[in-house]
Structure 1
Amino acid sequence: MSSSSSSSSSTENMSSAVNAFSMMMSGAKRAANSPNKGKEEEPVEKKRKIEKVEEKQDMQDDQVDDKQPPVDEPVEEKNSDNEEVDDDYEDDDDEAIPLAEALKQPGKSDAEKLAQIAKGTGPSSIWKVSGAAAKSPTAISDITSPAFDPSKFSQIKLTPSKNLPYALLALALQKIEDLKNSGQGSKKKVLVILANLFRTIIYHNPSELIHAVYLLINKLRPDYENVEVGVGDHVILKAMAQVYGRSEKHITADISNGNAADLGEAALLSRVNQPMLFAPPPLTLSKLYKELLVMSQARGKDSQKLRKDIITKCLVAAKGEEAKYIVRTLQGRLRVGILSATILQALAYAFVLTEPAKGKEKECIPDIRKEKPAPSADKIALKMIELEAATKQAFCEVPSYDKLVDCLLSGADAAELSKACSVTPGIPVKPMLAKPTKSITEVLDRFKNIKFTAEYKYDGERAQVHLWTTEAGKREIRVYSRNSEDLTEKYPDVVDAIEEMISVIDKPIKSMIIDSEAVAFDREKHKVLPFQLLSSRPRKNVVMSEIKVQVCLFPFDLIYLDGESMITKNLDTRRKVLRRRLKEIPDRIQFATARDMDSEEEIQAFFTESVEASCEGLMLKTLFENATYEPSKRSLNWLKLKKDYLSGMADSLDLVPIGAFYGKGKRTGVYGTYLLAVYDPNEGEYQSCCKVATGFTDEFLDKHYDHHKDNVIPRKRADYVVTDKMTPDVWLDATQVWEIQCADLSISPVHTGVEYVTILVLSASNLIDGAGGKGVGLRFPRFIRTRDDKKPEDATTSEQLLQMYEQQFAKGGSGE
């Protein structure tokens, strides 16, 4: 059969499937809208679930009432606002496909994808417009409308192939912030604005798309290049004072008296009141990006002056809302809640609706929906689903926006993108992560009739080691953290050990990526040392001769070898190749201790053995079934069983200190208690979940009192969600992540964690309704350690906190 015939047949089958699904879903919709349907069942089921949660909570309260001291005072309950729906949108309550689901089955069948389209849970629910809106001149020129056509954009003057003004980005950011502040900031509306912004850039000047992407995510380069602007608030304040003719004291007073929420708004307020003798030339996207790059590279005694001069120049050129977002960009906090996952989704949608030009061969198509003949809405939606999944998968394997945007601008479709953006040595892969479990029974339930292996869970730092040969024939070795940060300067001894191993192996290795754990190690006693010793090592410029804490590298997985990605192979194969091709160097490189097993007695014995070997517990992984390496995914095919879990919660939490209370008694003169928060990436907010006062040493309290002196801020940040009755003595800037263990989680009338979380599942919605608008808090929290390998944005999310809470009441252990 010819390819054209095959394509025609496929299209006919697809069309039939679309019709069948449409009929099925319209029938289901009629049934769902029946006046008698669900009147009784849904509220009763909902009430039962709420009663079940309250009953479990009461049982916990009875058990600890006599022991638990009064910690927090209750506050009034909050009611959530009902979200209004724009005329341009249909079914606005539907959730767009989340990242985890898109990555779960990137090779879904056409029938499954069409089912999503028919149910209205995918892009069709975002981009579907009414007949009037599709033809309205106002709608097609409005960047917030699904009917938008980038060739008709007129709010800001743009000239094709000319540098684009920064005002375009500021306009999109302001539209998103307005939505958020009005309570109408649904993910769908944000996606439309971002996708339309990208479409406008693709149409007018595609070379500036990468600048816009980096500015939107508050970065300048990929994480693994370790490029940061590196400017403090004091430098920004000095520049603002010079530009606006106001004292630093008057500018900060705008924040303390409530006229401005942050320095960005203070800059906007100052600019409004600033007389201008002449209008400066507009600030362009590329100009701002390049100036920020120059700032990031500034070194030496005059670097601060150079940074201040650049900030001054940018603020002078800023117009309208630009000053606010320039200052926020410098601070690293845009405060509009844009996530990498949202950027990737918006890019996929943009490149489906607006096809980029291909040199002189093909002009840019601004809106594919206006082509003749126009593709059907279902065909567009199907293409969006495919490109979204491919875009997110590509970024997990190659987390470089430069590479991704270049491929998309070249016209790559989903299949081509998957080939072009695959695992590459020198670019860290987003690591696969494990789900916590709190009992051996739960492990056996999860892995019933499935072959699995158990490995020691080492208490160290995740280290992804890359080796490759350059075009000049030079061997390169780099070490990356779980956050894609380059740790090569921190671990010169690991690089040296890899070099030694390469020199003694039987078959030369030209390129590889191994997943491993770098662990503090006593080479005389041949034993693992506590993580705290490893955390004392500097992160940069470590000299081999000055190393006091030695490390041993424990490889446990193989991601890439000699030009071949291994992530699609099962763990059994990857591990066999790893152990066959690499060699151990005693006390420097040793394979993770592992054992295949299938009984409770074997797991218990191996678990005890791991704890006696100074490890945290076990990692349990499937060997054959569903055993591929899944970048960026926290998978149920990898489970972690830690010694701390067996006596308490199924996982510790990584929380951010956002406030502190002065100590009393022997803690007088330092902070004795800290207010901690989870992070809500959907809203870009930190939501309080506990106060912690235990687990600290006197040395720690002294050290962190001095550390946080520079982090004290005059008032609560606008992105801190904390009730009025939970006010610390001082507010702290979010700079650290602490690992916290607790007895369990409970519904809290004081803390806000989860209260504002985007509800993705019915049980979560019922839980929040049943809680009366309260949040989830931690009981008996205890400090474990500082997580230097994590940034505040990598902390436990409010959604994860909710899942942990629900797991407490799950039967059978898994919580599924």
Structure 2
Amino acid sequence: MDFGSFAARAADVEAEPADLEVVALVTDLFADAGEDLRVVARFVQGRVFPAHSETKLDIGPRLCYEALARAAGTNVTASDVEDRLAEAGDIGEVAANLELGGQAGLGAFGADSGGDDLTVSAVFAELEALAAAEGNGSQDEKVTLLFGLFNRCSSEEARYLARLVLGEMRIGVGEGTVRDAIADAFDVPVDTVKRALQVSNDYGLVAETARDEGEAGLDEMHLEVGRPVQAMLAQAGTVTDALDEWERAAVETKFDGARVQVHWDGEDVSLYSRNMEDVTAALPEIVEFVEEHVEPPVILDGEAVAVSAAGEPLPFQEILKRFRRKHDVAAMREEIRVELNAFDCLHAGGDDLLEAPFVERYERLEAVVDDESAVSELLVTDDPEEIATFEERALESGHEGIMLKDPDAAYTPGDRGKHWLKRKPDVETLDLVVTGAEWGEGRRASFLGTFLLSARDEDDDSFETIGKVATGITDEELADLTDLLEPQIRSEDGQEVDIEPAVVFEVGYEEIQTSPTYESGYALRFPRFVTVREDKPPADADTIERVERLAAQQG
């Protein structure tokens, strides 16, 4: 396919505002791409290489400006290009309006005019060569190669080449458009295309396979150990959301680390970041752990967490120091230790597991990792109190919180759907008065263990109940709270205690719900003790009016 034809089709797509028409135009482009289909399917998204590939152009804006300036002649400088970009806001527009072509010199292909039958395959070959340039003088070589391409471009070709080089195609074609266009162009089910894309992470390969081998060929595509796939992502949510939607939830610790995808074929271990960058060399201790404790072939999903000498988790910034390290890795390893916390298994023993339920994938994870300390703890329950206790332990251990997962959901690479939820941090707290309590049981029988909370009614300075809190409190804190509140006990009835409104708790919560159970008409979902507000008397506690306002703001 002529690159000029590709550029003209891209211009048509860019000018089309309707999504369905965009799909139709891309469908036609794919049908006409011929032997260049694999490259065209990437170019149309602004990609030169497959998403999983470690090959990068590694050419920044400044080098692109230099190449354009050289192709435009001696009266144009890289600074001129940059100034025009500041006005136009689009490097493609700048490139299209430069007088390119006809410049002699090294890398000019011997061409003496723009638009001389430049093909998609020729552009790709030159960009491959550009990506391969490394070492001393590599930047000059990159500029020369790119100058040679621009020197052969028509105005429209230059527009899309400049955008392609900088990864800014800007024609409104995303992954969904390409997926649908592949299905339409080659008459294969869109779900089959979607699955093939998930396991291969290569739109060009999938397009070519759909054309040449149809649905049967796509069905034969599988995960490959050593070829990373996009990570499944989570969205913010609540325990209420999870249990309402799934009836039970798989609960895990939310680690304050960096996502890592582990590939181990029995000979080589490869580690990839969330963005599918190879970080193997930066994390040698995880490589060593996998080689010793994990049964190949496998693909695992997990989190790399920086830990102190005592094994306590360190902040996210510490793991970033390891991920970004290219030199002196051994010295940095001594300074910041990293551990693997695996929480999913995508492939094991030759079996792709993406479509298996999460709980089944977790079982395979436990089977292939012989050190349970590297496998994230899992709780499957329909009990909010069990989830509260799990979260409390996670927070006390220094972790971010919890993840809530649909036990029956498949692993969907790249999706940020409703099957994985990040438990929201407490974005608001309330200062509430303790007006009652209950004595604990077992080893906590001598402590007040559950506390009845009330908000202040401004109209008559009374207190109306809004809920109870029993989580987020250590044994030591319970002893202190009992000492604090016992002098305020007005009466007792069995385990229940009536308390004079004298102590204010700061309480976090997941959400505020309407409820007939409590006098205020509201209830706190998933309340958690934060601290005693020793600086605040009951008269300054939060009011029912504020509770109503916060409830309304939740939408």
Distance 1:272 1:403, change over 3 A: closer
Separation (CA, whole Å) in 1 of partners of 2:317 and 2:166: 30
1:593-608 map, 5 Å:
593-608=377-392
1:108-123 map, 5 Å:
none
Residue aligning to 2:218 = 417
Separation (CA, whole Å) in 2 of partners of 1:293 and 1:213: 16
Would the aligned equivalents of 2:28 and 2:185 in 1 still touch at CA under 8 Å? Answer: yes
Residue aligning to 1:398 = 200
Query: Could you say what secondary structure the match of 2:281 adopts?
Result: coil
Residue aligning to 1:578 = 365
Deviation per CA, 1:514-551: give whole Å up to 9, x if none: 111111112x3121111111112243535552222111
2:306 matches 1:520: yes
Bigger drift between 285-294 and 630-639 goes to 630-639
2:92 matches 1:264: yes
1:443 to 242, 264, 278: 242
Distance 1:636 1:577, change over 3 A: same
Separation (CA, whole Å) in 1 of partners of 2:342 and 2:217: 32
Would the aligned equivalents of 2:303 and 2:341 in 1 still touch at CA under 8 Å? Answer: yes
Residue aligning to 1:169 = 6
1:594 CA displacement: 2.3
2:172 to 325, 337, 345: 337
Would the aligned equivalents of 2:101 and 2:112 in 1 still touch at CA under 8 Å? Answer: no
Query: Could you say what secondary structure the match of 2:306 adopts?
Result: strand
Q: What is the letter of the counterpart of residue 605 of structure 1? A: T
Alignment gaps of 5+ in structure 1: 1-163, 180-184, 353-383, 470-474, 503-508, 649-742, 745-806, 811-816
Separation (CA, whole Å) in 1 of partners of 2:178 and 2:145: 28
Query: Could you say what secondary structure the match of 2:56 adopts?
Result: coil
Query: Could you say what secondary structure the match of 2:29 adopts?
Result: helix
1:274 CA displacement: 8.3
Q: What is the letter of the counterpart of residue 584 of structure 1? A: D
Separation (CA, whole Å) in 2 of partners of 1:329 and 1:525: 49
Residue aligning to 1:534 = 319
Residue aligning to 2:62 = 234
Normalization by structure 2: what TM-score? 0.71
Residue aligning to 2:449 = none
Separation (CA, whole Å) in 2 of partners of 1:595 and 1:253: 58
Residue aligning to 2:268 = 476
Separation (CA, whole Å) in 2 of partners of 1:265 and 1:278: 20
1:280 CA displacement: 6.4
Deviation per CA, 1:78-101: give whole Å up to 9, x if none: xxxxxxxxxxxxxxxxxxxxxxxx
Separation (CA, whole Å) in 1 of partners of 2:233 and 2:65: 41
1:635 CA displacement: 3.4
2:32 to 178, 200, 208: 200
1:444 CA displacement: 3.1
Query: Could you say what secondary structure the match of 1:270 adopts?
Result: coil
1:559-708 map, 5 Å:
559-584=346-371, 590-623=374-407, 626-644=408-426
Query: Could you say what secondary structure the match of 1:527 adopts?
Result: coil
Separation (CA, whole Å) in 1 of partners of 2:297 and 2:101: 59
Separation (CA, whole Å) in 2 of partners of 1:388 and 1:639: 27
Separation (CA, whole Å) in 1 of partners of 2:355 and 2:95: 51
Distance 1:329 1:280, change over 3 A: closer
Q: What is the letter of the counterpart of residue 281 of structure 1? A: D
2:84 matches 1:254: yes
1:496-511 map, 5 Å:
496-502=288-294, 509-511=295-297
Query: Could you say what secondary structure the match of 1:518 adopts?
Result: strand
1:12-27 map, 5 Å:
none
Q: What is the letter of the counterpart of residue 288 of structure 2? A: D
Q: What is the letter of the counterpart of residue 194 of structure 1? A: V
- Cα RMSD (Å): 2.7
Would the aligned equivalents of 2:52 and 2:229 in 1 still touch at CA under 8 Å? Answer: no
Q: What is the letter of the counterpart of residue 192 of structure 1? A: A
Deviation per CA, 1:161-187: give whole Å up to 9, x if none: xxx2100110011112223xxxxx111
Q: What is the letter of the counterpart of residue 535 of structure 1? A: L
Query: Could you say what secondary structure the match of 1:555 adopts?
Result: strand
Distance 1:555 1:537, change over 3 A: same
Separation (CA, whole Å) in 2 of partners of 1:540 and 1:224: 21
Would the aligned equivalents of 1:461 and 1:519 in 2 still touch at CA under 8 Å? Answer: yes
Distance 1:302 1:597, change over 3 A: same
1:494 to 264, 282, 286: 286
Separation (CA, whole Å) in 1 of partners of 2:392 and 2:271: 31
Q: What is the letter of the counterpart of residue 314 of structure 2? A: L
Query: Could you say what secondary structure the match of 2:125 adopts?
Result: helix
Q: What is the letter of the counterpart of residue 392 of structure 2? A: T
Separation (CA, whole Å) in 2 of partners of 1:620 and 1:190: 37
Q: What is the letter of the counterpart of residue 444 of structure 1? A: L
1:272 CA displacement: 7.5
1:416 CA displacement: 4.1
Separation (CA, whole Å) in 2 of partners of 1:556 and 1:591: 6
Would the aligned equivalents of 2:282 and 2:329 in 1 still touch at CA under 8 Å? Answer: no
Distance 1:447 1:238, change over 3 A: closer
Q: Number of residues paired by the alignment? A: 425
Query: Could you say what secondary structure the match of 2:97 adopts?
Result: helix
Q: What is the letter of the counterpart of residue 246 of structure 2? A: F
2:35 matches 1:243: no
2:184 to 340, 349, 370: 349
Residue aligning to 2:131 = 296
Deviation per CA, 1:312-367: give whole Å up to 9, x if none: 21111112311111111222212212212211211221112xxxxxxxxxxxxxxx
1:76-115 map, 5 Å:
none
Q: What is the letter of the counterpart of residue 421 of structure 2? A: L
Distance 1:321 1:601, change over 3 A: same
Would the aligned equivalents of 1:492 and 1:542 in 2 still touch at CA under 8 Å? Answer: no
Query: Could you say what secondary structure the match of 1:434 adopts?
Result: strand
2:52 matches 1:224: yes
Alignment gaps of 5+ in structure 2: 104-110, 431-509, 512-551
1:40-55 map, 5 Å:
none
1:303-382 map, 5 Å:
303-352=138-187
| Runs of 4 or more above 4 Å deviation | 272-280, 644-648, 807-810
1:281 to 116, 139, 142: 116
1:278 CA displacement: 5.0
Deviation per CA, 1:45-94: give whole Å up to 9, x if none: xxxxxxxxxxxxxxxxxxxxxxxxxxxxxxxxxxxxxxxxxxxxxxxxxx
1:458 CA displacement: 0.7
Separation (CA, whole Å) in 1 of partners of 2:233 and 2:426: 18
Query: Could you say what secondary structure the match of 1:305 adopts?
Result: helix
Distance 1:279 1:579, change over 3 A: closer
Would the aligned equivalents of 1:622 and 1:637 in 2 still touch at CA under 8 Å? Answer: yes
Separation (CA, whole Å) in 1 of partners of 2:64 and 2:24: 32
Would the aligned equivalents of 1:298 and 1:307 in 2 still touch at CA under 8 Å? Answer: yes
1:463 CA displacement: 1.2
Separation (CA, whole Å) in 2 of partners of 1:424 and 1:255: 42
Distance 1:286 1:453, change over 3 A: same
Query: Could you say what secondary structure the match of 2:43 adopts?
Result: helix
Separation (CA, whole Å) in 1 of partners of 2:388 and 2:25: 53
Q: What is the letter of the counterpart of residue 433 of structure 1? A: L
Would the aligned equivalents of 1:433 and 1:635 in 2 still touch at CA under 8 Å? Answer: yes
Separation (CA, whole Å) in 1 of partners of 2:114 and 2:253: 65
Separation (CA, whole Å) in 1 of partners of 2:101 and 2:37: 33
Bigger drift between 404-413 and 311-320 goes to 404-413
**Structure in which a larger fraction of residues adopt strand:** 2
1:425-440 map, 5 Å:
425-438=225-238, 440=239
Q: What is the letter of the counterpart of residue 409 of structure 1? A: R
Residue aligning to 1:463 = 260
Separation (CA, whole Å) in 2 of partners of 1:278 and 1:461: 50
1:253 CA displacement: 4.0
1:289 CA displacement: 0.7
1:217 CA displacement: 2.2
Q: Which protein has the larger Cα radius of gyration, Structure 1 or Structure 2?
A: 2
